[in-house]
């Protein structure tokens, strides 16, 4: 089968790799344009582009999707099917209708739960113990198309969005190939999503990382995991921004105003929350690298009673 692959970040790479190992012919790849990144402002290539170049495959990086030029280019590849994993743009009808077998999307959640751009992060933030991959036939909505295949995967207690995403991505690749095989064989029946059960997983912004100490300790711990490695959970100590990379909720009830440093020993740092105590395990201050609380406390003197919270300005 002639397949066009559309995808952009690291999460999309295993999908592409899986297709490359399959018997299908990848006739073209579409990814987002190079963008300025990093400390300088140098352009960097999306991970999918690097794979395309390695394989010497035809590549498009359209600035705009809804142009006749792009549609013509796509059509010239004559795809039977378009596979989409984390491309980063909504596809409109002219593209969706182009391939005879339709557009198949790999989504990182058990749809209809967690529709949107950040399904992995939100599943962890909400303390889910399992999530999964859904393949679906795309329509014009945001992850609203009929479901093709679905497979579950556990979320481990120590999982962050950063550790969970690669496992989901690999599963996504496997399920994508399986989905295409069954579509080709005609043994797969798409079934409509139960839209009443739908929840959203909107794109995270930097500000979403700011911790609200009024929440309960368990919810904060989940948030720290779900926001790692991006955008990162953070709070303020005075004017200084501190990232919290690992934390665990304790059963000890909070005695102080939420955000108050409740206890400091040589190796531990405990903070009062709206309900319960949060022990910080790995942190990162303004211009330093992330480090364990033990390391941090070796060089910094903290005293109980200090307050974390939003910066006042």
Partner RNA sequence: CGCGGGGUGGAGCAGCCUGGUAGCUCGUUGGGCUCAUAACCCAAAGGUCAGAGGUUCAAAUCCUCUCCCCGCAA
Whole-number minimum distance, CB 283 to RNA, in Å? Answer: 10
Of 22 and 285, the one with the shorter C-beta distance to RNA is 285
**27 vs 264 by CB, closer to RNA:** 264
Contacts with RNA, residue ranges (CB under 7 A): 35-41, 206, 232, 241, 243, 266-267, 284-289, 291, 294-300
Nearer to RNA, 187 or 287 (CB): 287
**Residues making up the chain, counted from first to last:** 313
Count CB-CB contacts under 10 A for residue 167: 18
Q: Which is nearer to RNA, 174 or 241 (CB)?
A: 241
**Tokens for 60?**
């498009």
List own/partner pairs for 59-64 with CB under 8 A and 24 or more apart: 59/28, 59/29, 59/30, 59/31, 60/28, 60/29, 60/30, 60/31, 61/30, 61/31, 61/32, 61/33, 61/34, 62/30, 62/33, 63/33
Cβ 35 to RNA shortest distance, Å: 6
Q: Which residue in 287, 285, 305 sits closest to 296, CA to CA?
A: 285
Toward RNA, which CB reaches closer, 241 or 307?
241
CB nearer to RNA: give 89 or 184: 89
Provide the minimum distance between the beta carbon of 277 and RNA in the complex, in angstroms, as a whole number: 18
- CB 294 to RNA: min, Å: 7
Work out how close the CB of 11 gets to RNA at its nearest, in angstroms, rounded to a whole number: 16
Structure tokens at 121: 């992060």
Of all helices (H) and strands (E), which one includes residue 96? helix 93-96
Nearer to RNA, 181 or 291 (CB): 291
Rounded to a whole number of angstroms, the minimum distance from the CB of residue 115 to RNA is 24
CA distances from 311 to 212, 270, 277, 293, 308 (A): 12, 20, 21, 22, 9
- Give CA–CA dist 99/192, Å, rounded: 21
Q: Smallest distance, Å, CB 291 to RNA?
A: 5
**Cα–Cα distance between 47 and 51 in angstroms, integer?**
7
**Phi and psi for 310 in degrees, rounded to 5?**
-70, 145
Q: Which of 78, 143, 71 is nearest to 113 (CA)?
A: 143
- Of 225, 238, 223, the residue nearest 312 (C-alpha): 238
Identify which of residues 74 and 283 has a Cβ nearer to RNA in the complex: 283
Shortest CB 307 distance to RNA, Å: 20
């Amino acid at each position: 089968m002639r397949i066009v692959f559309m995808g952009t970040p690291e999460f999309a790479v295993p999908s592409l790799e899986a297709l490359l190992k399959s018997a299908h012919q990848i006739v073209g790849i579409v990814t987002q344009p190079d963008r300025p990144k990093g400390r300088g402002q140098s352009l960097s290539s999306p991970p999918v582009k690097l794979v395309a170049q390695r394989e010497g495959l035809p590549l498009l990086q359209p600035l705009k999707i809804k142009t006749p030029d792009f549609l013509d280019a796509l059509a010239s590849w004559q795809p039977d099917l378009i596979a989409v994993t984390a491309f980063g743009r909504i596809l409109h009808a002219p593209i969706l209708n182009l391939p005879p077998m339709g557009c198949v999307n790999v989504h990182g959640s058990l749809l209809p739960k967690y529709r949107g751009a950040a399904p992995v992060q939100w599943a962890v933030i909400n303390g889910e113990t399992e999530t999964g991959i859904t393949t679906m036939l795309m329509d014009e909505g945001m992850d609203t198309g009929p479901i093709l295949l679905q497979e579950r995967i556990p979320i481990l207690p120590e999982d962050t969005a950063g550790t969970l995403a690669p496992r989901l991505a690999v599963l996504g690749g496997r399920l994508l190939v399986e989905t295409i095989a069954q579509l080709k064989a005609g043994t797969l029946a798409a079934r409509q999503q139960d839209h009443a059960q739908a929840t959203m997983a909107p794109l995270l912004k930097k500000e979403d990382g700011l911790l609200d100490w009024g929440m309960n300790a368990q919810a904060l711990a989940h948030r720290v995991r779900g926001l790692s490695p991006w955008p990162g959970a953070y709070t303020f100590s005075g004017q200084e921004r501190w990232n919290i990379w690992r934390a665990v909720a304790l059963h000890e009830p909070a005695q102080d105003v939420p955000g108050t440093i409740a206890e400091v020993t040589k190796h531990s740092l405990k903070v009062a929350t709206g309900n319960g105590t949060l022990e910080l395990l790995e942190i990162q201050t303004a211009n330093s690298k992330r480090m364990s609380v033990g390391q941090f406390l070796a060089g910094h003197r903290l005293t109980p009673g200090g307050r974390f919270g939003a910066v006042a300005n």
